[in-house]
Structure 1
């Protein structure tokens, strides 16, 4: 007898948006620090000073990366079928068979699910 596994819920869209923004902001801060430092070393800090110039690079880069990564994480997760099932389907099917409509894919998944539940 197999043990029942508790079903894990996928993260909500809001959570994915938040995580994408946080990851993008972290990457943006790092990239802003690197490019801002390089710009200050190469061209000088300018009339505002080193800290203001560096912080401007870091904040603008963090905002840009955070915005685009948050949108990208929501778009990537906008699917009726879980990503695990999509990946499994793409590995099992030949390239010619992999091109299907969303409704055909859902019917295939439902049929396989019914077959698996019948076996167990």
Structure 2
């Protein structure tokens, strides 16, 4: 994992991230295609097309599949409009301002207390 950047300037664009994901997926796909294609050829023979054609078909189909999915994944991952350091600051601000995550039981008690106060308020306004 590379170290975080020291400055918070502009990062790579979505197109650059998608390209990087596609290239990484292509590399992984070629490797996996080579491994499984070679294993298939060793087990069952090259078939009527020959060794190179069969192996290249495995490698290219695997590379195309991995490229597609890693490119989509890198775009989905970078979908946020807010930079990560601002998201972290926002979460710190929320946790220090009293907003916190409650358990299910605490949430149920809080809702019951609010309903009770609302019922009391409505009863007193009817009088």
Q: Report the RMSD for the aligned CA atoms in angstroms.
A: 2.5
**TM-score (structure 1 length as normaliser):** 0.67
Partners of 1:28 and 1:58 in 2: how far apart?
Answer: 7
- The answer to whether 1:61 aligns with 2:66 is no
Partners of 1:96 and 1:7 in 2: how far apart?
Answer: 29
- The answer to whether 1:15 aligns with 2:20 is no
Partners of 2:14 and 2:40 in 1: how far apart?
Answer: 37
Structure whose alpha-carbon radius of gyration is higher: 2
Partners of 2:35 and 2:62 in 1: how far apart?
Answer: 11
Shift of residue 23 of structure 1?
0.3
- The count of corresponding residues between Structure 1 and Structure 2 is 92
Task: Kindly report which structure 2 residues correspond to 1:5-44, keeping only aligned pairs within 5 A, or say none.
Answer: 7-44=8-45
Partners of 2:33 and 2:87 in 1: how far apart?
Answer: 36
